[in-house]
Amino acid sequence: MAGENDHLLPVRIFNIYPYSDTAQGVGGIQNFLVFLKGETSKVVPITIGHFEGQALVMALRKIPLPRPLPHNLIQSLLERMNAKVHKLVIHTLKDDVFHAHLLIRTDDDVFYLDCRPSDGMILATLLGAPVFMSPEVLNEAGRELEVEPGGAVQEAEAVEEASAESPAASPETGGEESGEQDTGESAAEPAADTLTNLEKLNVQLARLIAEEAYEEAARVRDRIRELGG
């Protein structure tokens, strides 16, 4: 499959933020906004669901789980079959929905597996697979990253604007229900000091739920609500 990456652009997970969709009523539904970035100043924001966002954060943070989540089950199945995720490609944005596929290699076959970008990013992160994006998607959905004179990225404003204006601004229109990117570089982990207290609580909540520590999870959930999450 020589030359298959010639027209694709390597991207990485630049950052991930939780945010509440207030359009869903009081308190809103908490989704996650993922920023994908390549070698240019543009980022592509993709909204993913609450469960997928928590799973992606745990994968990025390498948080061990006492019991496997669905993506861990798929990871184990692929490894047992001696199948390798070669790459994730986010190839199309159609009707405000991102579409992606995973390139899977086995000893006997090579095939593409259609997936949502959220699921693909989680598996790519767990397995250390590179992520690619087509230039068409970057051109259509990419947004210029604001940089302050001192070099700091204006991330908070970017989250607010992207969640309100991006074609990926809701799970239904951003690829979560219908489908949501060669340097050999795997999805990058955001710096630990970029997490807010609310983000840390959400990661803790996901871990407690995975551990079935529901009483403690309920207390963390109440704390998240107190902070406006």
% of the chain with per-residue pLDDT over 90: 41
Q: Are residues 167 and 215 in the same domain?
A: no
Contacts of 206 (CB under 8 A, 6+ apart): 54, 55, 57, 58, 63
Q: What is the pLDDT of residue 124?
A: 97
Instruction: Find the CATH number of the domain harbouring 47.
Output: 3.10.690.10
Kindly state the average pLDDT of the residues 126-144.
95
Query: Same domain for 60 and 27?
Result: yes
46 plus 114 within the same structural domain: yes
What strand order describes the sheet that includes 110-115?
Answer: 110-115, 97-105, 84-94, 131-133, 9-21, 29-37, 42-48, 143-144
Region 148-170: mean pLDDT is: 46
Q: Confirm whether 156 is domain-assigned.
A: yes
Question: Is residue 132 domain-shared with residue 223, that is, in the same domain?
Answer: no
Does one domain contain both 147 and 213?
A: no
Which residue would you say has higher pLDDT here, 80 or 187? 80
Do residue 182 and residue 197 come from a single domain?
no
Residue 3 located in a structural domain: no
Kindly state whether residues 84 and 131 are assigned to the same domain. yes
Is 4 a member of any domain? Answer: no
pLDDT band for 191, please (50, 70, 90 cuts).
Answer: very low
Determine, yes or no, domain membership for 13: yes
Q: Residue 165 domain-assigned?
A: yes
Q: Is there a single domain that holds both residue 181 and residue 99?
A: yes
Q: Is 1 a member of any domain?
A: no
Domain total in the chain? 2
Q: Are residues 117 and 228 in the same domain?
A: no
Q: What is the pLDDT of residues 54-105, one digit of tens each?
A: 899 889 888 877 788 899 999 999 999 999 999 999 999 999 899 999 999 9
Q: Is the dihedral of CA 12, 15, 16, 21 positive or negative?
A: negative
The pTM (predicted TM-score) of the whole model is: 0.67
Same structural domain for residues 102 and 199? no
Structure confidence at residue 218 (pLDDT): 72
Q: Any bridge partners for residue 9, and if so which?
A: 133
Question: Domain containing 166: what range?
Answer: 9-186
Tokens matching residue 196: 């807010």
CA-nearest of 124, 118, 140 to 187 is 124
71 with 152, same domain: the answer is yes
Last-in-domain residue among 186, 202, 218: 186
Q: Which residues, other chains included, contact 69 with Cβ-Cβ below 8 Å and sequence gap of 6+?
A: 55, 58, 210
61 plus 112 within the same structural domain: yes
